[in-house]
Structure 1
Amino acid sequence: MIDLATPWWLLLLLAVAALAAGYVYMQRRRHARAVTFANLELLDTVVPPQRNRFVHVPIALMLVGLILLTVALAGPQADRRVPRNKATVILVIDVSRSMNSTDVAPSRIQAAQQAAKKFADDLTDGINLGLISFAGTAATLVSPTPDHDATKAAVDKLQLADKTATGEGIFAAIEQIKTLNAVLGGDKGAPPARIVLESDGKETVPDDPDDPRGAFTAARKAKEEKIPVNTISFGTLTGTVDLEGDRIPVPVDDASLERIANLSGGEFFTASTLDELTRVYDTLQEQIGFETQRGDNSRPWVIAGTILVIIAAIGAIAMNRRLP
């Protein structure tokens, strides 16, 4: 069934049906009159039978065109993907020492910077974008703003540090979103918000992610505030990093990042190369930058109906017939 905004316009189909019935009646009456008063042998000579194969095509096309135009008047509705005018996205990027691993060329942090800047470039203009980095503590580098160039400039200046306080990064993002929502008139009128968390390792501060400032607790808080956290686990299981001359294994930790996403109502992604990370950001851009809206879809019906009516008129003229 077609979803129509004003279905009462379909009553015009009765007029189209009446037109079709009138045409059939006139054709039968004309044929009966010809049979009654005409010399059939002479009639077959003047009007060759093969012409009759196409004589009804123009009226058929016109009737179909009128049906399509009537449906267009009734306002068919359809879902459309349109750019978001308003939304808030906070990028939360891990800058712990493990991000210096070169298992992802040229390094995890450099690949993360490239992908994050492309994400900022592609993101819909009306979306407020912010940036938070975290290692042992969290730092708000850019408060949410539609000026995406500010985020790109800050991404270039990310500096690595010790430890990994994932929960602090999420809490900081939540506070930034709540602050912006208050400025915009409160949570009821606030635009949708989302946190995009990129990390490569397990939280080290605090030791327990269920601690009051832990990552799992922060994820639950995000769920409570209706702010999904999409997590990206970036790196490989064979990653290592040089710390004071020692080669330290820094395998990626998918399990904790997936749990953060699940607890917050977000989605979990993995990437082990720059290309994979870029594709993840492209997917997020499609999800965040666009929304589905129900709206008018009459244009295709108008175009198709108009084309058929024009073809019908040309056909009728070409066959030296008057339009009914």
Structure 2
Amino acid sequence: MTFLSPGRLWLLALLPALLAVYVLLQYRRRGYAVRFTNLALLDQVAPRRPGWRRHVAAALFLAMLTLLMIGFARPATGVKVPRDRATVMVAVDVSLSMMAKDVAPSRFDAAKAAAKKFIGDLPARFNVGVVSFAGNANLVAAPTADRQAAIASLDTLVLAKRTAIGEAVFTSLQGVRSLDGQAAQDPPPAHIVLLSDGDNTTGRSVAEAIDASRAAHIPVSTIAFGTPYGTVDIEGETTSVSVNKQTLRDLAQSTDGKAYEAADAGQLSQVYAHIGSSLGYRTEHRDVSSRFIGIALLFALAAGGTSLAWFSRLP
């Protein structure tokens, strides 16, 4: 809990002083009572009855004041509010190494299937865009709430030579800035999910991509497709294409994202959980002073009721 007007809490410092005055008055009352030498008269002034009753109304009154002072400082609690402009960019590696079949049916087909499932499972409030990258990177689907358009764009992807992971990140960042008319000056909360086998062979470096992502405060989560034993046949020659998990891990960890491996069937749900926690909501503080005032009124009624019932007067 926080307070929207914390400066008003200084009023609570008056409560100890008020309590001290009350205690002092009780001692003075006792002093007045012992001045009477006539025992019958003393019994009328200070009758023998449970002494605690006279303190109940005072205690309830002090509790009421405490709650009113806290309410006056406007206490607030954090409330999660959905972010309608939240954007997820899905970048898919279409380099020739993705033809390797060490991930069934192939790295490329597995990555497309994973991307389709991931996009389909995103909440409707998220915008989603698609980037493909090989020797360069292309925005194949601009960020939109249209899931079918984003998924359909994955079926148009074609494999090509080389791998430009750095360019994929830069193109994804540009895609975020193209979301709407205010995105350039007020970028939406965003996250990049990059699916690849991990080698950056052309274009800007991964280190440059990390710097750009950090400057934009946009995390990059990566999903590595492949094993150390992948091979592809290119122009009649068999070439080893081992997955480079370290590059993807460095990219994710350096941008506050998460690094996953496609070998784990539960990876996509974990990726979404991480993204949902960072993009799905923003926290707003909402005034809850009415709760304290309402409880204070109950204490006031209790104080008045007990005082009337026991002493036939209001406190």
Q: How far did 1:87 drift?
A: 4.5
User: Do the aligned partners of 1:197 and 1:231 also contact (CA within 8 Å) in 2?
Assistant: yes
Q: How far did 1:230 drift?
A: 0.8
For 2:265, the aligned partner's letter is L
Match of 1:101 in 2: 103
Match of 1:196 in 2: 192
Q: How far did 1:84 drift?
A: 3.2
SS in 2 for 1:52: coil
User: Per the alignment, do residues 249 and 108 of structure 1 end up closer, same or farther by CA in structure 2, a change over 3 Å counting?
Assistant: farther
User: Do the aligned partners of 2:167 and 2:204 also contact (CA within 8 Å) in 1?
Assistant: yes
Identity of aligned residues (%): 24
Which range moves more in the overlay, 95-104 or 307-316?
A: 95-104
User: Do the aligned partners of 2:119 and 2:128 also contact (CA within 8 Å) in 1?
Assistant: no
Determine if the alignment matches structure 1 residue 303 to structure 2 residue 291. yes
Match of 1:289 in 2: 280
Match of 1:72 in 2: 71
TM-score if structure 2 supplies the norm length? Answer: 0.70
Aligned counterparts, 1:215-294, within 5 A: 215-216=205-206, 219=209, 222-223=212-213, 226=216, 228-235=218-225, 237=227, 240=230, 251-261=242-252, 265-271=255-261, 272-292=263-283
User: Do the aligned partners of 2:85 and 2:189 also contact (CA within 8 Å) in 1?
Assistant: no
User: Do the aligned partners of 2:3 and 2:76 also contact (CA within 8 Å) in 1?
Assistant: yes
Match of 1:10 in 2: 10
Describe the superposition over 1:18-58 as per-residue Cα deviations: whole angstroms up to 9, x where unpaired: 65455445544554555536649967x9744xx33454234
Q: State the superposition RMSD in angstroms.
A: 4.5
User: Per the alignment, do residues 292 and 158 of structure 1 end up closer, same or farther by CA in structure 2, a change over 3 Å counting?
Assistant: farther
Match of 1:116 in 2: 119
Determine if the alignment matches structure 1 residue 314 to structure 2 residue 302. yes
Structure-1 separation of matches of 2:304 and 2:199:
77
Structure-2 separation of matches of 1:135 and 1:262:
23
Count how many residue pairs are aligned between Structure 1 and Structure 2: 302
TM-score if structure 1 supplies the norm length? Answer: 0.69
Unmatched runs of 5 consecutive residues or more in structure 1: none
Structure-1 separation of matches of 2:230 and 2:12:
73
Question: Which of 137, 159, 162 does residue 161 from structure 1 map onto?
Answer: 159
For 1:288, the aligned partner's letter is L
User: Do the aligned partners of 1:170 and 1:215 also contact (CA within 8 Å) in 2?
Assistant: no
For 2:193, the aligned partner's letter is L
User: Per the alignment, do residues 71 and 312 of structure 1 end up closer, same or farther by CA in structure 2, a change over 3 Å counting?
Assistant: closer
